[in-house]
A = this chain, B = another copy of it.
Amino acid sequence: MRTVLGAIRLGHVRFLVLGALLLAGVDAHAQTDPLASWNDGAAKQAILEFVKTTTDQASLKFVPPAARIATFDQDGTTWVEQPMYTEVIYCLERVPVLAKAKPELKDVEPFRTVLSGDREALAKLTMPDLEKILAATLTGMTVEEFGAQVKDWLAAAKHPRWKRSYTELAYQPMLEVMKLLRANGYKTYIVTGGGQDFVRVYSESVYGIPPEQVVGSAGGTKFGYDKSGRPMLVKEPKLLLNDDKAGKPEGIHLMIGRRPVAAFGNSIGDKEMLEYTQAGEGARLMMLVHHDDTAREYAYGAKSKVGSFPEALMAEAKRRGWSGGRLRCWIWSVHVR
């Protein structure tokens, strides 16, 4: 695995449907090539072609600037989601901090297990256990307090395998795609199953995406006043939007109100977003990131015990490609080189 300035560098791009595997060097073009971390394969060409035709007024595939919406799943698509979602790691690592303020938590499950550090016991936590941990660490504070807590944690926390800050584990090729799209009038959005408020803390610095362009799973807040009469918003344990699977297009409609023309995902949770994107008129770009390199990053899939390689999604994509004829760019495989 090569890294560049802290970002995991993905470059080996394989066009899965056609099976074309191209390994041309890219470093010579790094200064001028907007997709310098991508190999000169079909995937890269498709992105460049999409950007070129959708921004060329003479093209039949021209997309007016206002309609240039591109959405990116986050976990596994724009940054590392292994060994578990960064936000879940945050919640677990936040428990000891909570226990300092509330020592009684040490005797209450599931907090006792989390505090024990017993990995076997941790692995057996149930979904209701996890929900209790999320509620305790993600709600009950003002939105500003939460932002500060996440910021502090991100500044110190290190990924167990890569020994780097989580915010350094964004995929360089995806950062390049975002930048290229923005340079061509596209508004880039994160559309994540993760917590909207969590991702908003670092979206600008990591992806160049402002908080208002982060769509994520969102809890309610409650407006009120603190003791001095100052207005405040407190995060509540009430789910307004579960931004995963069907929730992704629903969340896109709620938060953006337009159908994307380009969408990027990596898992079955992105299926509906990709379908919804595809179902619009005119030029469309739908891409899947595929992780298949154990040594330099992670390998997902049936042969691995890690992650959720979208076999089902890929099967559907192929099926749709056969029947729809508009799926030229549906399936791509991007892995670390």
Q: Which of B66, B200, B253 contacts A257 (CB 8 A)?
A: B200
Known contacts A222-B250, A250-B223, A211 near B256 by CB under 8 Å: yes
Decide if B255 touches A233 in the complex (CB within 8 Å). no
Residues on B with C-beta less than 8 A from A275 are 231
Question: Beta-carbon contacts of A252-264 to B below 8 Å, as 1s and 0s?
Answer: 0111111000000
Partner of A255, one of B212, B272, B276: B212
Q: How far is the CB of A57 from chain B (nearest CB, A)?
A: 19
* A231 touching B197, Cβ below 8 Å: no
- Contact of A220 with B by CB under 8 A: yes
Does A137 count as interface, using CB distance less than 8 angstroms? no
Instruction: Give the contact-size bracket for chain A.
Output: 35 or more
> In the complex, what residues of B have CB within 8 A of residue A143's CB?
253
Contact of A240 among B187, B230, B231, B254 (CB under 8 A): B254
Closest to A216 in B: B257
Whole-angstrom distance between the alpha carbons of A200 and B214 in the complex? Answer: 19
- Report the nearest B residue to A252, measured CB to CB: B233
Residue of B at shortest CB range from A211? Answer: B257
Given known contacts A66-B210, A212-B187, A240-B254, A233 and B276 CB-to-CB distance under 8 angstroms:
yes
Residues of chain B lying within 8 A (CB to CB) of residue A212:
69, 187, 255-258
Since A69-B212, A220-B250, A231-B278 are in contact, a sample of 18 more A-B pairs with Cβ atoms closer than 8 Å, ordered by chain A residue number, is A196-B254, A200-B257, A211-B257, A212-B255, A212-B256, A212-B257, A218-B254, A220-B254, A222-B250, A223-B250, A223-B272, A223-B276, A224-B246, A230-B279, A233-B249, A240-B240, A240-B241, A255-B255
Lowest 6 A-B CB distances belong to which pairs?
A211-B257, A223-B246, A231-B279, A231-B275, A212-B256, A200-B257
